[in-house]
């Protein structure tokens, strides 16, 4: 678990050093909240015993609501709130790479504008 968290922190740090990317390119996102999805998932093609999660992320000045059903055997995603990751935002989906570098594409359930994150003063 510590190794996974360290890798995610390194990815987040690398993405923050990369700067702002134009739309259509990989961008830094902050995982705001991860909570277990309470209602049935209509198009769920995986084992009915697997859990799905409602995920809120912030990319620049937008907050996105996503629905995530981890691959069988994947654990730990529910503890990533507060971490940064790289995402690719499309019209109806957001893609990120899982801990093994495999792309995962999630449907965008909701989106709303938020005020830009204030910049820290430079000394």
2/108: higher pLDDT: 108
Quote the pLDDT of residue 5.
Answer: 58
Most confident range, picked from 12-16, 22-26, 54-58, 112-116: 54-58
Q: Average the pLDDT over 90-115 and give the result.
A: 91
Quote the pLDDT of residue 4.
Answer: 62
Domain assignment present for 120: no
- Domain that residue 68 falls in: 2-113
Q: Average the pLDDT over 89-110 and give the result.
A: 91
Q: Rounded to an integer, what distance in angstroms lies between the CA atom of residue 101 and that of residue 99?
A: 6
Tell me the pLDDT band of 64, cut-offs 50, 70 and 90. very high
Strand, helix or coil at 55? strand
Helix, strand counts (H, E) of the chain: 1, 6
Q: Is 54 exposed, middle or buried (0-12, 13-18, 19+ CB in 10 A)?
A: middle
Domain assignment present for 118: no
Domain assignment present for 123: no
pTM exceeds 0.85, yes or no = no
Domain assignment present for 121: no
The number of distinct structural domains making up the chain is 1
In the predicted structure, residue 120 carries a pLDDT above the cut 70? no
Q: Average the pLDDT over 31-41 and give the result.
A: 85
């Amino acid at each position: 678990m510590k190794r996974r968290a360290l890798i995610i922190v390194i990815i987040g740090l690398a993405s923050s050093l990369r700067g702002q990317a134009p739309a259509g390119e990989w961008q830094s996102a902050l995982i705001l909240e991860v909570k277990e999805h309470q209602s049935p998932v209509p198009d769920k093609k995986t084992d009915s015993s697997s859990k799905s999660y409602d995920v809120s992320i912030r990319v620049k000045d937008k907050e996105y609501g996503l629905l995530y059903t981890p691959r069988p055997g994947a654990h730990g995603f529910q503890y990533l709130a507060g971490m940064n990751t790289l995402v690719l935002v499309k019209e109806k989906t957001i893609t990120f790479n899982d801990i093994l570098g495999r792309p995962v594409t999630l449907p965008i359930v909701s989106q709303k504008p938020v005020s830009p994150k204030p910049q820290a003063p430079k000394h």
